[in-house]
Every structure is written in C-alpha cells, then in structure tokens.
Structure 1
Amino acid sequence: MELSSISAEDISTDGCIIKSDRTKRINKVSRDVEVDIELLYKAVPQLAKVFHIIDKIGEGTFSSVYLGEARMRDGRKEMFALKHLIPTSHPTRIAAELQCLTVAGGRENVMGVTYCFRREDHVVIVMPYMEHQAIVDIIGSLSFEEVRLYIYHLLKALKHIHQFGIIHRDIKPNNFLYNRHSQMYALVDFGLAQGTADTQLKLLKVDLTGLRKVPRPVFGERNLNSYAPSASSTKQAASKAELEKPNKVKDQSKRRHSSATWGPLPVRSQSCSQKAQRSVQQGLTCNCYLTDRVCNICMARKQQVAPRAGTPGFRAPEVLTKCPNQGTAIDVWSAGVILLSLLSGRYPFFKASDDLIALTQIMTIRGSKETIQAAKKFGKAVVCSRELPRQDLRTLCETLRGINPPNNKVTPVPVAGGDIDRCTIQDYAPTTRPAAAKHGLLKDGVGKTLPNHPEDLSSNKRKCSSLTDGLGWDRVPDEAYDLLDQLLDLNPFTRITADQALQHALFRDL
C-alpha cells in the first residue's frame, strides 16, 4: 500500500497542518485536542507528510489514539488509527507490542499494523481504523443473538493469540471493537501483553514486568501492598529471621492514604498470640498499625513480584491474589466478565478500588467457599469473615434485567461487596488461620458495585420489559449460562480455554 503526500499548502514550515476547507472538521474538537495534535506533529514531523490528523479518539495510561486521514495514490482517502506511545515506554515493551500486532494481527478478529513511525523516543503505530460503537452506549439495546456473536468472535480472537503464546492481559469491551452495522470485530491494544512459557514470540520471552521507565499508576488504583509477604527495612536486615513471622501480622497494616480521603480500608485482625508476639518485639515491628499514616519500616518493605496489569473489574482471581504463575486463563476470565455484563445488562459489572474489594465482589457471585478452595489450588489462602452463598447465574442475570426467574419468584441480588465485611489473602500453607473480625469495611458505599442496581425490582421489570421484547432475552438458552459458569471458573487450571469454549453447545450452529 502506497500513500501520497498531503498537498503542500496544507503544511506549515514547522510541519503542522494549517487550517483550510479540507481541515475544518478539526474546528469541532476542543482546543486541548488541537494542542495535542499540534504537539504530535512537532514530535513526529514525518506524520504531516502522510496524514491529516482529524481528532483524538482515545486516551489510556500509556498511549493516546488519534484518527488520521491519508490520501492514497489512486486518489482514495482512507482512515487510520494512530497510536502514540508515551515517551517513557521501554523500547522492549514497544517492540513486543509491535511483534504481537505483526505476527498475530490482521486476521481472526485481531487488529493488524500498517506502519510505524519513530522519532527519538516518540513512537506512533499506525493501524486500520474501524468505526465502532461503545458497549456502554448500546448494551441496553443488544439482542441475545448479538451478544452470542460478540462473545463467539471474542473467543475466536483469544484462541488465535493464545496459539502464539500471547497473554493479552487487558481484555475488556473497550479493547474489543465492535461495529454493529457491519458485524465486524477487532481485538486491539497489546500494550500489556505477556508471553506464556512456550510463547513463539521472542520478545515476549523477556520479563516485561516493570519495564516502564517511570512508574505509573494503573487506572488510578491505589497500591496498598498490604497483602504481600515482605522483608524488613534495611536497618533491621540483621534481624531478618526474627522479623519474618511478625511480618505476616503487620503486613496488613500498610496504607498509602488516609482513611479520611479514601474511606475505610481493610484491616486484618490479630489473635491473642499474635498480639503478644507483637508486644514482645515492639522495637522490631512497625508502629503505624491501625493508624492513618505509614511508617518507614512499612515503606521499606518489598512488594511481592507478580503480574497484576489489567483493568479493575476484569482481573481474574489469580491476578487479584498475586499468583506468580499466570497464563492465558486470565484472558478467558475477563471474557467471562464481559459475558456476565452482557447477559445481565450491567456494565461495568464489577468496579473496585483495590484488589481485595474486587475479590470480595467476586465472592458475592461465585461463593466464598468456592473461592477459598480455588485459591488453595494456586497456593493462596483466602480468609473471609462470613460465608457467602454461590449465586445462580440465570437468576442473577434475569433479576438484573428485570425478568422474573422461571419459578416467578424474584431472588434479591446483593450489591457486590456492598455488605461483606472483609477478606484477606496469604500465600497458602496448611496451618490454622484466625478468622477475620467484622469491622464495617464497606461503609459509606465504598466498594459497592453493579451500578444502577434496581432497588425496586418490580418497577425495574416494567422499565426493562419494553427493551427485552423482541430481543430474545426471554428465551436465553441454558447453554449460555453453562458457558458463563465455565468461563468464570475460579480455578485457572480447570477453567475452560478459548479453543474449548468455541466448541461449546451455545455455538453449535456457528
């Protein structure tokens, strides 16, 4: 594919696009976006020779995406998506993303790459532009058949990249573009991708964890580091052996922010023997337990090294518990969360401020006993202060949609995490662990998710009935909820794979 240059009268001496009749659409964007476009032209001047950048269409933690128009040699105008990576991105991380796009992209519902521009530490990846609709805007009008096809094509893309040993790590509707009118799909954004142990991509064999030059928060999340086993500060290095046991007690006390700002945070209870042990070694332990500050000892602790990249609400249990061995099953879990949202009509379904609240929300749907048992399989001990029953997925989704369950009795659905006291996580060891005490973790609405939950289910049913008529939501087959149950298997070792899911009875005719 060859591109012709934009005419000279449209380009200023510094490489920026001059406003003309052909570029009047840029007047519709905000001044901030105009400034960003001008800065991009200055950072990568060669873009001006090929593209007329029209608008900024996306912005994430590590990149911004722009819409660009290019004139082809045959006179056609074609639209492209230009992804500008932040200058602090590590070269190996950038190269790994490009390799994912070039090796696996361009087929099987996976976005490919057309060009790549680089100037100094600025990199712009050019991809075909696909017009799409945001799920949040159309979820209320989607038919069941559209949802079925959406999940089928998502699983098809996952099977494809998993065959190359690619773990996407950030599966969510925003990264799986959907054109409702043309029935086109595209998996995008491999910026967080990692490789499996047998990956075919050389660059993904490198440990990509922490390759960013500048540490950046993931979607504004707090990093409590409260539940990772750690070493003591350097001043107490000589007493490391003595500190290892009490560290398991005081690890839970570390806080990054005051409760006045963030609301109540998880606080782990102590048994009598642990309190006695803490008092004996008062000089060696931190003194910020149950306070709103963080002492130097806690600040000096090392974090547990385990990948946790991704978007809150879509992280699998093994990611939330910092399991070091994570595979392609984490992408399948995220696909299950998407299907749960689409079947229930609630997006986003989960929304938590930290990993423990996110795990608690999962427990409200999948059950506390089941979560604890699954965690043991991958070496983690989860302690919950109260037992949570496993929800029936059909009843849950139909209740949220305002459709009565088959027995015509509406089962109350708890707000995920809304009335649960707390849970804690440790590396699993077959020892007796004290149960956590209640302390009202989620007061003042902290951690309450499943937005727009119906307080009055009968009125919600009336509102939703008109939306469900003719869309097939009163005829959802059992196979849909059976697949959902297998996608949301808490144990990654028994969770269905994307390849197996495509063979599910729900997709028999596909």
Structure 2
Amino acid sequence: MTRFLATSNPLGRGDARTSKFIRNLTENPASSDDPLQMPVRARYTEEQDDNMDQDMEDDASDDGDDDIDVDSDDEETTIMRKSPEERQEILTEIRELQKAVPALREDYRLLDRLGTGTFSSVYKALDLGYHSKWDNQPWLGHHPESSSAHYQSLPKPPGSKVFVAIKRIYVTSNPERIRNEISILTDCRACRHVSQLITAFRHEDQVVAIMPYHRNDDFRDFYRTLPMVGIKQYFRCLFRALSDIHARRIIHRDVKPANFLFDRDTYQGTLCDFGLACRFDSSAPQTLGACFHTLPSAEHPHGRVLSRNEYSAPRAKDRQRDARLKSAMPSEKVGYPANENRPSSKANRAGTRGFRAPEVLFKCGAQSGAIDVWAAGVILLFFLTGKFPLFQSSDDNEALMELAVILGRKKMEKTATLHSRTFATNVPTVTEAGVTWSSFVSRQNPDVYEPPKASPTFSMMMDNDTDLDGQLHTDSIPPSSPSRAASSSKSGTPPVDDSIRESHKRDVDLAFSLLDGLLEPEACRRMTPSQALAHAFLRDDGPDEHDTLPHPFKSGVCAKYHIVDNVTEEPSVLVFEPLQPGQTARRLGTRGVAPGQGIAIGREPCEFHQDSALYG
C-alpha cells in the first residue's frame, strides 16, 4: 500500500488532495468537507476509555519502583527511566492524543514524550505498518553510498522495530503557520541531514506530522568533551543540511543545539523543527530606508553590497556622522526613548535569543540564509569556549551591545549602515576596533589549545574506526546507550602525547579561521554553507560535495524532463512509454511523482532517467 494513498492522509505535494487541505487549514481548521480529514475509526464509550487506561498502565507498570532495571538498548521502555510523576503526566497526554486522533492507535503505538515546546509536543512511537502497509521509498530518498546521508536511504531490516517521532501541533497555532511548516517539510524531502516528513494528517482540529525518530544526545552532555573529529562531523552534517535547504530557498531561522539532533556515537546529525522556517523573500520592498544590499540570488546567496552609484552615498555618510557625534555627547543625551513613538521597521525577527544575526537585530527587510550560518557560528563558539549559553540579552538593544563589545564600534557602524541603520553608543567597554573572535575565545577558555580529555573507551573506538586521514568509519561503532555518559565519567583518562596536542592546535587554529567567516557581521560577506564545507577545517578526503548534492526538483542533469503544473503545483516527470504494437518510436508521457522522488544527485540523473540511451 502506498503511504500517500492510505487513510493516514498525508500532506505531500504529490498527493492531488494537498492543495485543498492547505486552503482549508486557512479557511476553516475544522472543516468537515476536507478531503484529507481522517475518518473516525472508533467511538469511545466509558468502558472503552477504562480499557485504554488499563492498557497504558500495563505498559508502564510498577510506577512506584524507582530502581527498575531497564535494558539500555530497549527504546520501548525509555519512559520507565523517568520519575513516576513525569510518567503519569506523559501517559495522560498520550491517552488524550489517542482520543483526539483515533486512527493513531491503529497505525502507531505511542511510547514516550520526546519534548514539548510553545507550539507543539513530540512523542516517540512504534510504526506498526512500516513493513507491511506503507511505501516508504519517497521519503527515504536515494542518497548514494558515498554520501554522509546514505543512512537516511537505508530501509529497516525486515521484521525490525521501527520508531518514529509524532509531532502534535497545538490547535492554538495559526493555521497559516501550520500550512507553512508542512509545506516546507514537504519541499525538504531528500535533503541531507534534515528530518524527513513521512506523512501528516488531521482529524477535525488536530494536526500531526510523522517523522523518523533520531536517537541523540543532549548538547550539554558533550559540547565540552567532543573531540575535534566529532566537532568536524557535527558541522559537516549541519552545513550539508543548510546547503540543501538554502538551495530550495528556505531559511530555517531557528538553528540551535536543541534543533540539531546529534548522536555522539554514530556522529550523525539531523536538523529538525521547521516551525519558524520561511522562504526567501524575493520581493522585499526597495523603498526609503531599504538596505544597501541586494536580495539573495543564485550568484550571490547572501546578497551583494550595492555599488556607490546604486544608492545615495552622501546621505548614508551624513547619517552615520550624526550618530558618531551623538556618541560623544553626555550619557543623558545618548540612548533611545523609553516610550518610542517613531514608526517601527518591519522585518521578520523570528528566532531564539542569543542566536539572532546582526541583520535580524537591525531589522533588515531582505534577510537570507546567512542568518542560519551566523547561528551555526554561535554553536561553534560554544564548542571552542566551553560555555553554553553565551549571549543572554533580554531585548534586541542589549543583544547589539553584546556583539558591539566584541566586534567594536567601527564594525557595528558599518554593519548598521549596510541595513540603512545607524549605531551610536558611548558605553566605555565598546572600543573602536573590538577584539577578534579568537581573542574572545581565548579569554573565555584559556585551555582552548588543550585536547579534550577522552576516556579509554573513546580512544579504543578511535583506534579501531579511523584511518590515517582521520576519517571516522561509523559502520563498526556500537549503538548508542543511555548509560554511556555515566560509564565515561567513571573511566580513567589516558595521557595525551605531543602529536595529538600538535594536531589539536592545528585544528583549533583552523576552527578560528572558520569562526571568523561564520560570524562575519556583514551578511553579504558571511560564508555560505558550501564555502564552510570547503574550508580547511571541514574539508575531507571524501567525494566532492557536488557529487552527493541532492538537487531541488527541476534541477540537475535531467532537469528538462521535470515539470511542475502551473495551476496545481503538482510535480511530474516526462518518461518514455514502452513501445506498443505497431509503434516505431516511443512516446514521451507524463508521470506524477511524490515529494522526494525525481531528485537528481550530483552529476547523476534521478531514478526515472537512469537510461542514458533514452535520456542522455
């Protein structure tokens, strides 16, 4: 059975019912004529409610026993490691969700809560129909063996237990926000190291999305001890994810450790939570007060600084000169009004405090994927300083001052001018030149050049799983275990020899060089994800990045055979039909595809155009 035709009611763009579903979300979140509305499969009576409660209690028996011996590799019993009070709270939520979306109980067995946020909660579940009911190929993709994302395309062994993450989007969320997130997740299918949308459906006012479950570690448990080989893999995965979504003109807007699931045993990372994501704005207003840079383009992914004949240079200089004069005034004459009544600038400021790029703080109206790169640079700062979090301002003005103390007045003024803003301050700790990022790191972490203390267990793993070029082989790494942090802390620490120390020093210097490119305050001059992957710190001896790059639909070597309907926006491919009796030549026909299908990888055509004799 094809997942896109099942009663799970997916929202994939390849499903002809998708567009109507998206429209209905905006018009009426509880519309009864929605063709994707899930049929009611059960009507609960009080007796059935009691039976359901008993089933859930049986699954989590012995709530009062705090010393339960749980198999560390048994993902089905992770809830038992939580306190009795938290277990009861989670079980209550699961029961309520199963009542709100009855069909969940038929296709999935909910096991635990993975997390909760402002707009949604995420639960771990067992997929009961993975091996017998669904066609999983569209979301698995076709990543080649040479790709770091090849594991995403590997089907689960027959008969194995398959876990998924079920995201319940709260009914209080704006319908347009829900539509946007589902639409973006659909377009991100086949992206490397990005959480894939398996399916999504609704029942009345309830909307849930199903995604693969990714085992991961809490960032706080490893950011101080992860060795350089692990840090490199962390950012290779992250920048490949950003490279792929930016190629689809999508900005994540909320890149942070909590939204990048990293397993320190397998060194696999996955970018998740696209709740704040948006698409590139290709029509930002070029009016008075507009930025002095262009919109992002294929040639300039982060935009381009306008030449002097493209804007009024004297006016910009006059504004900044006035700002400098104000900076020299007494403190009572410098600042901003407590009750601001001037018209405010309109710009998307979505994101998490401490990760917002300067252009977001300056309310730039033409933002690009550069804001995601800045956030990635902040994460690298955590690894190098050994401090998390670092920036904790309460508002945008404080956030600008935090950056000004490091970057200095000159860079802040130049960055402000780029976005048609001015920057003025007489705070004495804001110097003219500021400090370099490497100096800032060294002040925060004087031992930055000291290799992290590794346990004998990790050293043994590195000896077995790396070759001379330092590349990690994940095939033989044991599965992750919840008890690994505890076992590592009890182990002894082997001495660090001079060769390791020297190698670590080289890596730190290269990391500083990368940091400068990621935390460049001017967005147009900030590194792109592709440039970051080509940097000496992250560059590896594997295949060329372009050879494993999943192109957006209608791109790649077979792009001329890919079409999107102008009205329905449904994707399809042109394929030659088999010869019929009496025909001397094949006819070119149209075949509809699901999201994630028809993706050309690197220099190779997609799965529908492999025959070079026909499509070459």
TM-score normalised by the chain length of structure 2: 0.53
Query: Which residue number in structure 1 is paired with residue 385 of structure 2?
Result: 344
Asked if 1 retains the 8 angstrom alpha-carbon contact of 2:122 and 2:165, the reply is: yes
Deviation string, structure 1 residues 69-124 (Cα, Å, up to 9, x no partner): 22344653211111111112222221221122222134311111112131122111
Query: Which residue number in structure 2 is paired with residue 390 of structure 1?
Result: 434
Q: Report how far residue 383 of structure 1 moved.
A: 1.1
Separation (CA, whole Å) in 1 of partners of 2:163 and 2:449:
47
Deviation string, structure 1 residues 181-236 (Cα, Å, up to 9, x no partner): 1121111111111111359xxxxxxxxxxxxxxxxxxxxxxxxxxxxxxxxxxxxx
Asked if 2 retains the 8 angstrom alpha-carbon contact of 1:365 and 1:391, the reply is: yes
Q: Report how far residue 345 of structure 1 moved.
A: 1.5
Q: After TM superposition, which residue ranges in structure 1, 4 or more long, deviate above 6 angstroms?
A: 1-5, 465-469
Separation (CA, whole Å) in 1 of partners of 2:228 and 2:193:
20
Asked if 2 retains the 8 angstrom alpha-carbon contact of 1:93 and 1:191, the reply is: yes
Match of 2:397 among 356, 361, 367: 356
Q: Report how far residue 396 of structure 1 moved.
A: 2.7
Separation (CA, whole Å) in 2 of partners of 1:333 and 1:268:
32
Query: Which residue number in structure 2 is paired with residue 13 of structure 1?
Result: 48
Query: Which residue number in structure 1 is paired with residue 243 of structure 2?
Result: 159
Asked if 1 retains the 8 angstrom alpha-carbon contact of 2:237 and 2:268, the reply is: no
Query: What is the count of residue pairs matched by the alignment?
Result: 361
Asked if 2 retains the 8 angstrom alpha-carbon contact of 1:323 and 1:380, the reply is: no
Match of 2:198 among 107, 114, 139: 114
Q: Report how far residue 160 of structure 1 moved.
A: 0.4
Query: Which residue number in structure 2 is paired with residue 80 of structure 1?
Result: 164
Map 1:48-59; keep pairs closer than 5 Å. Answer: 48-59=105-116
Map 1:400-479; keep pairs closer than 5 Å. Answer: 400-403=444-447, 473-479=504-510
Asked if 2 retains the 8 angstrom alpha-carbon contact of 1:4 and 1:71, the reply is: no
Separation (CA, whole Å) in 2 of partners of 1:495 and 1:47:
45
Deviation string, structure 1 residues 457-504 (Cα, Å, up to 9, x no partner): xxxxxxxx9998868644434322111111111111211111222222
SS across alignment from 1:482 = helix
Match of 2:257 among 163, 173, 184: 173
Query: Which residue number in structure 2 is paired with residue 327 of structure 1?
Result: 368
Deviation string, structure 1 residues 426-471 (Cα, Å, up to 9, x no partner): xxxxxxxxxxxxxxxxxxxxxxxxxxxxxxxxxxxxxxx9998868
Map 1:23-62; keep pairs closer than 5 Å. Answer: 23-24=60-61, 25=77, 26=79, 28=82, 29-62=86-119
Query: Which residue number in structure 2 is paired with residue 137 of structure 1?
Result: 221
SS across alignment from 1:191 = coil
Match of 2:521 among 467, 484, 490: 490
Unmatched runs of 5 consecutive residues or more in structure 2: 9-41, 62-76, 133-157, 284-329, 451-492, 542-616
Q: Report how far residue 347 of structure 1 moved.
A: 1.3
Q: Report how far residue 45 of structure 1 moved.
A: 1.7
Match of 2:511 among 462, 466, 480: 480
Letter in 2 for 1:79: F
Asked if 2 retains the 8 angstrom alpha-carbon contact of 1:23 and 1:54, the reply is: no
Unmatched runs of 5 consecutive residues or more in structure 1: 200-266, 276-288, 407-464
Query: Which residue number in structure 1 is paired with residue 275 of structure 2?
Result: 191
SS across alignment from 2:223 = helix
Q: Report how far residue 321 of structure 1 moved.
A: 1.9
Asked if 2 retains the 8 angstrom alpha-carbon contact of 1:59 and 1:65, the reply is: yes
Separation (CA, whole Å) in 1 of partners of 2:513 and 2:534:
13
Separation (CA, whole Å) in 1 of partners of 2:164 and 2:240:
24
Is residue 2:350 matched to residue 1:309?
yes
Letter in 2 for 1:53: L
Letter in 2 for 1:485: D
SS across alignment from 1:77 = coil
Letter in 1 for 2:410: K
Asked if 2 retains the 8 angstrom alpha-carbon contact of 1:468 and 1:474, the reply is: no
Deviation string, structure 1 residues 249-286 (Cα, Å, up to 9, x no partner): xxxxxxxxxxxxxxxxxx98447xx99xxxxxxxxxxx
Separation (CA, whole Å) in 1 of partners of 2:91 and 2:448:
50
Letter in 1 for 2:243: K
* Closer/same/farther in 2, CA of residues 399 and 153 from structure 1, 3 Å limit: same
Letter in 2 for 1:348: P
Separation (CA, whole Å) in 2 of partners of 1:83 and 1:193:
16
Asked if 1 retains the 8 angstrom alpha-carbon contact of 2:110 and 2:126, the reply is: yes
SS across alignment from 2:516 = helix
Asked if 1 retains the 8 angstrom alpha-carbon contact of 2:281 and 2:366, the reply is: no
Letter in 1 for 2:514: L
Separation (CA, whole Å) in 1 of partners of 2:235 and 2:184:
22
SS across alignment from 2:222 = helix
Separation (CA, whole Å) in 1 of partners of 2:332 and 2:349:
26
Asked if 2 retains the 8 angstrom alpha-carbon contact of 1:335 and 1:487, the reply is: yes
Query: Which residue number in structure 1 is paired with residue 415 of structure 2?
Result: 374
SS across alignment from 1:305 = coil
Query: Which residue number in structure 2 is paired with residue 413 of structure 1?
Result: none
SS across alignment from 1:506 = coil
Separation (CA, whole Å) in 2 of partners of 1:197 and 1:118:
29
Deviation string, structure 1 residues 46-67 (Cα, Å, up to 9, x no partner): 2111222111111111111111
Query: Which residue number in structure 2 is paired with residue 64 of structure 1?
Result: 121
Asked if 1 retains the 8 angstrom alpha-carbon contact of 2:120 and 2:168, the reply is: yes
Letter in 2 for 1:376: T
Asked if 2 retains the 8 angstrom alpha-carbon contact of 1:52 and 1:69, the reply is: yes
* Closer/same/farther in 2, CA of residues 393 and 468 from structure 1, 3 Å limit: farther
Asked if 2 retains the 8 angstrom alpha-carbon contact of 1:344 and 1:400, the reply is: yes
Separation (CA, whole Å) in 2 of partners of 1:55 and 1:23:
10
SS across alignment from 1:381 = coil
Q: Report how far residue 319 of structure 1 moved.
A: 0.8
Rg larger in 1 or in 2? 2
SS across alignment from 2:353 = coil
Asked if 2 retains the 8 angstrom alpha-carbon contact of 1:159 and 1:499, the reply is: yes
Asked if 2 retains the 8 angstrom alpha-carbon contact of 1:165 and 1:198, the reply is: no
Query: Which residue number in structure 2 is paired with residue 507 of structure 1?
Result: 538
Separation (CA, whole Å) in 2 of partners of 1:366 and 1:136:
27
Match of 1:90 among 165, 171, 174: 174
TM-score normalised by the chain length of structure 1: 0.64
Separation (CA, whole Å) in 2 of partners of 1:157 and 1:503:
15
Separation (CA, whole Å) in 2 of partners of 1:85 and 1:468:
49
* Closer/same/farther in 2, CA of residues 56 and 303 from structure 1, 3 Å limit: farther
* Closer/same/farther in 2, CA of residues 125 and 485 from structure 1, 3 Å limit: same
Asked if 2 retains the 8 angstrom alpha-carbon contact of 1:395 and 1:405, the reply is: no
SS across alignment from 1:65 = strand
Asked if 2 retains the 8 angstrom alpha-carbon contact of 1:140 and 1:467, the reply is: no
Asked if 2 retains the 8 angstrom alpha-carbon contact of 1:337 and 1:488, the reply is: yes
* Closer/same/farther in 2, CA of residues 188 and 371 from structure 1, 3 Å limit: same
SS across alignment from 1:197 = coil
Letter in 2 for 1:30: R
Asked if 2 retains the 8 angstrom alpha-carbon contact of 1:115 and 1:127, the reply is: yes
SS across alignment from 2:224 = helix
Separation (CA, whole Å) in 2 of partners of 1:19 and 1:316:
45
Q: Report how far residue 157 of structure 1 moved.
A: 0.8
Q: Report how far residue 323 of structure 1 moved.
A: 1.8
Separation (CA, whole Å) in 1 of partners of 2:185 and 2:174:
17
Separation (CA, whole Å) in 2 of partners of 1:314 and 1:86:
25
